[in-house]
Amino acid sequence: MKLDRPLCIVDLETTSADPRTARIVAIAAVRISPGTDRPATLSTLVNPGVPIPPEASAIHGITDRDVAGAPPFHKVASRIAGFIGDADLAGYNCRRFDIPVLLRHFAESRVPFPMDGRAVLDLYTLYLTLRPRTLASAVRDYLGREHTSAHDPLADAIACAELLPAMLDAHPELPRSVKDLEAMLHPGAVDLSGYLVRDASGEVVLNFGKYRGTRLSDIARSDPSFLQWVLSRDFPEDTKAIVRLASGTGGGK
């Protein structure tokens, strides 16, 4: 790849998947400069200043004990900004997550990090461009044919019925049962949209807003008005049905 200026690939591990509230627990960067064969690297744990939820630790393996002696972000912010310098940025899903989270942390630390003139290359978007996530592209990849009847509902359903065994044949490491596949793809999910999940003890907890990580049963006791607010808003019906049960207003839709 031709570089006219340095390119820095950035990756974060955080306390959650919400870019608005996630706290950094680890950051790594690889800086590639024009005319050099060996990239420079930076990697450090970061104390987020809040407990790391068990569901986050289950993904990246970093626990409160691991970061107990690590510096808070504001202590390493200048070092990180200096390492990146004026480089363009890249990463996987970095435009939606890593870069916004990093910019918020820089702002909180009052460390200047101007974005003017920087290119941001998202490899996730590049991957989707090269391998579109459509039924037609999946049929092409796994069944070796063109899906000429796209958006005909019966043809689409038949194609999906053929795709599942083809995908399993191509990936023997995948679970073989529907339940196990669901657990792998949507770990801890309670409702379809992921507003509700199960914590490490199996209790249903909220996965958004000010009560993120709080058990639904605890919210029902301490702040039932919040659950009534959820029921009054445009949340999916399956989510509302579970909230109704927790709030004691019935399980019907």
Structure tokens at 240: 């509302």
Distance CA 89, CA 5 (A): 11
Asked if the model's pLDDT at residue 211 lies above 90, the reply is yes
pLDDT at 253: 37
Span 88-113, mean pLDDT? Answer: 95
pLDDT at 250: 57
Least confident piece of the model among 15-19, 81-85, 216-220: 15-19
Specify the pTM. Answer: 0.69
Neighbours of 100 (CB within 10 A): 14
pLDDT at 251: 44
Enumerate domains of the chain plus CATH numbers. Answer: 7-126 (3.30.420.10), 135-185 (no CATH), 196-247 (no CATH)
DSSP designation for 46: -
Least confident piece of the model among 13-27, 83-97, 171-185, 238-252: 238-252
- Helix/strand/coil (H/E/C) assignment for every residue in 150-219: CCCHHHHHHHHHHHHHHHHHHCCCCCCCHHHHHHHHCCCECCCCCCEEECCCCCEEECCCCCCCCEHHHH
Span 160-181, mean pLDDT? Answer: 93
